[in-house]
């Protein structure tokens, strides 16, 4: 059986932070690296993406003396939504600027706009020295919806598969299957929740979504019996319910909401993710202490690695 390894590259929400009191958990924004059966999948393109790109460039350069002899970089990037903290590292992902690189980007804005057009307007042109069309690498941007899945298979470009029944979502042979659904529990236009399946292992990535009274039943069903649930946990319950500055309606969950989802989904492990940028190491360590009796609950930090196989 091939590998299924997860590495956290950026675990903050809202904006990156560089400060001596934030070194233990890190200050980069949302980005998770997945290496599964020889495929590189990257969840979101926050500032944590920059480090992945730098490491990939090091491997690329060391793979051959001449550029023509070097092993090309191939990556699949899944964008949950287009808020700044999930895109800030995209233009600084160095493999984009290498002609041999192949970077396939998937996401969805809404039914009236395309992801490609939105990225071109938000990240390039007036806000960056290059236009989207000036990128040297093979950059393929495609809109994805919850009736479609992505199959990653060795030696082939990503295959789009129609997902209409549970049988359609079954994983075959050595394929890696990516499925998603849109949650509207995050302003302005919702967020894509992703599932990555390989063999009998399943990872669910549910960032930037608020829970509901009684829990989020759709997410619980989508994540049912998954091995790893990465769940938004931007606020403590106290901050979420604060009398003077409540966070209800901001589109983010509390740590307790994430735990409730874990139980309802019967997830094997839960990783808290997307912390408020005001939560320093001391605060997060206090939260860690609160949940220390449950070994299946983990606080994400930059560099955290989890092997699902």
* Predicted local confidence at residue 243, as pLDDT: 95
Mean pLDDT of the chain: 96
Q: How confident is the model at residue 258 (pLDDT cuts 50, 70, 90)?
A: very high
pLDDT score of 284 more than 70? yes
Given a cut of 70, is residue 132 above it in pLDDT? yes
pLDDT category of residue 7 using cuts at 50, 70 and 90? very high
| pLDDT higher than 90, residue 189 | no
Exposed e or buried b for every residue in 80-96, given b needs 16+ CB within 10 A? bbbbebbbbbbbebbbb
Tokens standing for residue 155: 């030696």
Question: Is residue 163 a contact partner of residue 131, using CB atoms and an 8 Å limit?
Answer: no
pLDDT at 170: 87
DSSP H stretches of helix in 111-171: 115-123
Q: Is the pLDDT at 288 greater than 70, yes or no?
A: yes
Q: Is the pLDDT of residue 1 over 70?
A: no
215: number of Cβ within 10 Å: 15
* pLDDT of res. 167: 87
pLDDT, average across residues 197-208: 97
Contacts of 105 (CB under 8 A, 6+ apart): 76, 77, 79, 115, 119, 139, 140, 141, 142
Alpha-helix runs per DSSP H in 216-291: 217-222, 237-240, 255-265, 281-290
Question: What percent of the chain is modeled with pLDDT above 90?
Answer: 91
pLDDT exceeds 80 at position 73: yes
Assign 172 a pLDDT band (cuts: 50, 70, 90).
confident
Q: Is the pLDDT of residue 169 over 80?
A: yes
Range 146-162 average pLDDT: 95
Per-residue pLDDT averaged across 141-167, rounded? Answer: 93
| Cβ atoms < 10 Å from Cβ of 186 | 21
Question: What's the rounded mean pLDDT across residues 218-234?
Answer: 98
| pTM greater than the 0.85 cutoff | yes
- End-to-end Cα distance, the chain: 8
């Amino acid at each position: 059986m091939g590998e299924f390894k997860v590495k956290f590259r950026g675990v903050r929400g809202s904006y990156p932070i560089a400060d001596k009191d934030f070194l233990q958990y890190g200050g980069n924004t949302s980005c998770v690296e997945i290496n599964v059966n020889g495929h590189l999948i990257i969840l979101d393109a926050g500032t944590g993406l920059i480090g992945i790109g730098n490491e990939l460039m090091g491997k690329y350069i060391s793979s051959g003396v001449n550029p023509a002899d070097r092993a090309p970089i191939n990556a699949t990037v899944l964008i949950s939504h287009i808020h700044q903290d999930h895109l800030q590292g995209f233009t600084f992902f160095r493999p984009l600027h290498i002609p041999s690189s192949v970077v396939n980007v998937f996401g969805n804005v809404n039914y009236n706009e395309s992801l490609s057009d939105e990225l071109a307007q938000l990240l390039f042109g007036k806000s960056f020295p290059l236009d989207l069309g000036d990128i040297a690498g093979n950059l393929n941007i495609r809109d994805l919806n919850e009736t479609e899945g992505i199959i990653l298979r060795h030696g082939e470009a990503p295959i789009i598969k129609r997902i209409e029944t549970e049988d359609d979502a079954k994983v075959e042979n050595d394929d890696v299957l990516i499925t998603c659904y849109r949650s509207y529990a995050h302003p302005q236009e919702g967020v894509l929740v992703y599932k990555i399946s390989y063999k009998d292992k399943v990872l669910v990535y549910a960032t930037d979504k608020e829970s509901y009274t009684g829990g989020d039943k759709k997410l619980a069903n989508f994540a049912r019996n998954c091995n790893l649930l990465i769940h938004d946990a931007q606020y403590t319950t106290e901050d979420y319910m604060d009398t003077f500055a409540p966070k209800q309606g901001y589109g983010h969950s509390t740590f307790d909401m994430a735990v409730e989802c874990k139980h309802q989904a019967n997830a094997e492990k839960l990783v808290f993710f997307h912390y408020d940028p005001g939560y320093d190491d001391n605060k997060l360590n206090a939260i860690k202490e609160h949940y220390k009796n449950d070994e299946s609950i983990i606080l994400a930090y930059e560099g955290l690695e989890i092997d699902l196989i």
